[in-house]
Amino acid sequence: MGEEADVKKKEEKKSLTQAEFLSWKTQKAAEASAKKAEASRKREEDIAAGLVQMNGRELFKHQPWLFDNNLY
């Protein structure tokens, strides 16, 4: 009998309302956005401290005088 009750509860929980789904979706999007912002902030700090190598875009952003084509 206990197993039947557990199965019934699982079946009831499978159905989501649209409001629950949208709430979950916005929560997940907010978490992903916060995680991405934190990673970006940490990367900027590491670049400023010289701990990581910059890619081309970051190098152009931080040291644009390296890409001065007036010399050629």
Half-sphere exposure of 52 (CA within 13 A, CB side): 13
User: Does any domain span residue 42?
Assistant: yes
Q: Domain of residue 41: give its range.
A: 30-67
pLDDT band at 53 (very low <50, low <70, confident <90, very high): very high
| pTM of the entire predicted model | 0.60
Between CA 19 and CA 71 the distance in angstroms is 60
Residues 6 or more apart in contact with residue 70 via CB below 8 angstroms: none
User: Does any domain span residue 25?
Assistant: no
Between CA 19 and CA 49 the distance in angstroms is 45
User: Does any domain span residue 19?
Assistant: no
Summarised one tens digit per residue, pLDDT across range 1-51 is 567 776 666 666 678 899 999 999 999 999 999 999 999 999 999 988 989
Burial class (CB in 10 A: 0-12, 13-18, 19+), 58: middle
User: Does any domain span residue 49?
Assistant: yes
Q: What's the total number of domains in the chain?
A: 1
User: Does any domain span residue 12?
Assistant: no
User: Does any domain span residue 43?
Assistant: yes
